Amino acid sequence: MSKNKVLMCGNEACGEGAVIAGCKFYAGYPITPQNELISYMAKRLNETGGAFVQAESELAAISMVFGASAAGERAMTSSSSPGISLKQEGISYLAACELPCVIVNMQRGGPGLGNIAPSQGDYFQSVKGGGHGDYKLIVLAPMSVQELLDLTFLAFDLADKYRNPALILGDGLLGQMMEPLTIPSDMQPKHYDKPWALTGCRDRAPRIIRSLLLGEGALEEHNRHMQEKFRTIKETETRSQSFHTKDADIILVAYGSVARIAKAAMEAARAKGLKVGLIRPITLWPFPDKTIEDSCAATKKFLVVEMSAGQMVEDVRLAVNGKAKVEFYGRMGGGIPCEEEILERVEALL
């Protein structure tokens, strides 16, 4: 066994990805099912000379991240669904001020206090804005403990590259399950100059970080600039995986933990001789709509599987744009679809 092969839960792997990425600040407020991440950051930032604060609330935590990011350091917070709702105010401010940071949401059942079982009910909130105003987060959806490390590392890079908050959208299942993972020894965080960071105005003009733009047309201009940035991100950073989509009679679309289950269902179907494919978005925003649209040439039917009442299915429908039928199967409130359930749906649709 390689020296850097370890057994960790997803929340810890996420924390380790952050530490390797050079995260120097973490603030958070405990909420199940992401508490292993808070504890991990408390320990690791102490070891690596970063700063950890257990905040008095989610609102304070995201604002502390705002401060640390404004001061030019890589910063992170994490929470789970109800806590992310509370953070939305700060997330909107971070996006408006173009401050990079990484936010982790290990989703739980909702709405409201819900339960602590895995869910994917926060898709809309994650990819459509969530807080007030016109903005987008870069949303990455890991489906394994390994990917929690890899994509968290990537999220810090993308956040700095585009000066935009990045969100890791996992769920309680991914956060708490344990899997062996490899920590690559050559993971080196990229360095980005931050000519906007507040460091004290020694030998330079003072800097201001703000989202209040009162001048005539100034805010519209800033919004135009942000939308231009979002277009660049969409063109450059859209990521997905496709399996057996070239000859598929039906293509499953699923992300995160459900993508794993859908993949198993696809493999079971293929073993039975059924032509089933899978598209698994890795970035939920930007959404891989081109990949989905292009696959309409080979298939006439999609089945979107989510642990929600049907949220990502709307983006699939937009991408398909009437060129194929889009069916949906979802479970809510902590219900997890199993392989057989998905296979049964597929067989009914074929």
Partner 1 sequence: MPNPASLRMVDNHYCAGCGHGIIHRLVCEAIDEYGIRERVIAVAPVGCAVIAYDYWDFDVTEAAHGRTPAVATGIKRVRPGNIVFTYQGDGDLAAIGTAEIVHAANRGENITVIFVNNGVYGMTGGQMAPTTLAGQKTSTTIYGRSLRREGYPLKILEMLAVLPGVKYAERVAVNSSHEVLRAKRAISKAFKMQIDGKGFSIVEVLSMCPTYWGMTPIQAADRIKNEVATFYPLGVIKSC
Q: Strand pairing of 25-28 and 75-79?
A: parallel
Residue closer to partner 1 by CB (options 217, 322) is: 217
Query: Closest approach of Cβ 62 to partner 1, in Å?
Result: 8
Quote the CA–CA distance of 114 and 136 in Å, as a whole number. 26
In this structure, which amino acid lies at residue 86?
A: L
Residue for token digits 């370890």? Answer: 6
* Minimum gap (Å) between residue 285 Cβ and partner 1: 23
Q: What is the DSSP string of 105-149?
A: EEEBS-STT--SSB--TTHHHHHS-SSSSS---EEE---SHHHHH
**CB-based burial of residue 268 (10 Å sphere; 0-12 exposed, 13-18 middle, 19+ buried)?**
middle
CB of 120 to partner 1, least distance (A): 28
Q: Closest approach of Cβ 55 to partner 1, in Å?
A: 7
Closer by beta carbon to partner 1, 207 or else 272: 207
- To partner 1, the closest distance from the beta carbon of 83 in angstroms equals 15
Contact 36/9 with Cβ under 8 angstroms? yes
The minimum distance between CB 16 and partner 1, in angstroms, equals 20
**CB-nearer residue toward partner 1: 10 or 90:** 90
Instruction: Please report where in the chains the tokens 């597929």 appear, as a residue.
Output: 346
Is the Cβ of residue 57 or residue 182 nearer to partner 1 in the bound state? 57
The C-alpha atoms of residue 350 and residue 348 are separated, in whole angstroms, by: 6
Q: Which residues make up the interface to partner 1 (CB under 8 A)? A: 24-25, 27, 51, 53, 55-57, 59-61, 63-73, 75, 89-90, 93, 97, 198-203, 206-212, 214
